[in-house]
Amino acid sequence: MESEKTNFQSVTIGSCARPSWSILFLLFTLITIFSIQLSTTTPYLFPPNWALIRPQRSVPSSSASDPITCSGFFRALPKRKLVMSIKDFGGVGDGKTSNTEAFRRAIRYMQRFQHRGGSQLNIPNGTWLTAPFNLTSDFTLFLNQGALLLASQDVKEWPIIEPLPSYGRGRERLGGRHISLIHGNGIKNVIITGDNGTVDGQGKMWWELWWNRTLEHTRGHLLELINSDNVLISNLTFRNSPFWTIHPVYCRNVVIKGMTILAPLNAPNTDGIDPDSSTNVCIEDNYIESGDDLVAIKSGWDQYGITMAHPSTNIIVRRVSGTTPTCSGVGIGSEMSGGISNITIEDLHVWDSAAGVRVKSDKGRGGYISNVSITDDGWDPNAVPIFKDISISNIVSVNSTKAPVLEGIEGSSFEGLCFKNITLHGIAASTKWHCEYVSGFATKVFPVPCPDLKNTSSDSSWCSPS
């Protein structure tokens, strides 16, 4: 969370701007010089495929051929004894009818199956409007493809609960705080998954209360689990959370895998995943767009966190990708008063962001941060690209201000560049091109190109004037 802007003591590791490859620089320079307007799009990275957890199946175990995974933090469970649909409890998926009581009836009924084989509640295709509801132990919430769980926009339907003891107050306002849309306290053996169904917090109403300074109590999360054990969250899209999106606090053995988490890039404090005073947390193969940190590791704040002394430890963040314009891919702190240790961050892919990893604290926080490992084992600095046979032809540029710049990479191959029938008006005939580590051919080009483009080998026939 980034609402505290003053007196942060921070360490920023890595710039999160997208890498600028030399060939892109080469092409974009030429495009600018030649006054050609091209439209480009930013490629979106989606989470890697992971075996969907279907109804009536336990969590698959990793095989020797699978990528490295920490999903073993979640202890596999047998199939649930009872499987029912929200429709069995009076649910109506028309996007208008409130299903709050249907969810509460379902959970009350399924509580009977704790320690008796467990239960699963299926949410079929449709739009299911609801206020916050609680989960139970030995329980699976499964959202089918096309299922949309839609949060109520009536503030009165979001109850006020006690502040967390490691915070001593609401995170944004004194006193209590709004409960999360999906909530669990003291539960175990819980799965929240589906065939890429969606949970939408409709957070704009809450963001406007924050922006307008009319918020009376701290906003609720999309999903919060308190003092819970053996939890799997996977294969869903969470979007538009009012506040932090996924918040496991005082939890153990939590796996969050294959999730897509989305919020507008200006939405305040919409952190993606915030493990807080929790142990054995696996966060991997997730895609996140957020108005705050993609992942933020916390452990309470100031005297409340110091007194509770409940650390976050043994947390693995692996193969997470996404963007956040003002914050970081992974934030450690600043709420770290209970201590943070044994953190592993691997293969993080973050772009157009303020930082890749940021370690932050403040005066009065106390606590500690120790044993943090940040690596990208898959990156080979000796792996260089090969570019060959790129042709640019039949171009007239007016009001040009500088000559082309062609910069390759030392030790790489930028060969077969072909420039023909190109005239740049506005620069002197004596203006020299700037070329490094490139080779190719040029014919009928003004001003005269660099010697690197005067290759006269037999391979140049494809670049001859037409």
Q: Which residues are catalytic?
A: 292
Q: Apex CA 294: angle with CA 290 and CA 297, to 5°?
A: 140
Q: Is there a contact between 331 and 360 (Cβ–Cβ < 8 Å)?
A: yes
Q: Which residue has the tokens 């890697």?
A: 48
As a whole number of Å, the CA-based R_g of the chain is 27
- Residue at 257: amino acid letter: K
- What SS3 class is residue 182? strand
Rounded Cα distance between 151 and 90, Å, is 18
Token pair in block for residue 397: 């540029």
Residues forming a β-bridge with 83: 120
C-alpha span between 287 and 256 (Å, rounded): 11
* Dihedral angle of Cα 327, 314, 374, 362, to the nearest 10 degrees: 40
Q: 3-state DSSP helix/strand/coil percent for the chain, to nearest 5?
A: 15, 40, 50
Instruction: HSE, CB side, 13 Å, CA atoms: give it for residue 458.
Output: 0
Give 396's contacts (C-beta < 8 A, 6+ positions apart). Answer: 422, 423, 425
Q: Are β-strands 133-134 and 182-185 bridged in parallel, bridged antiparallel, or unpaired? A: parallel
Q: Nearest Cα to 198, choosing from 265, 151, 136? A: 151
CB atoms within 10 A of CB 24: 12
Report the 10 Å Cβ neighbour count for 2.
21
Cβ-contact 267, 225 below 8 angstroms: no
3-state secondary structure of 183: strand
By CB atoms closer than 10 A (0-12, 13-18, 19+), residue 100 is: middle
- What is the spatial distance between Cα 191 and Cα 49, in angstroms, rounded to a whole number? 18
Asked whether 270 and 231 are in contact (CB, 8 A), the reply is no
The first and second tokens of residue 443, run together, are: 């014919």
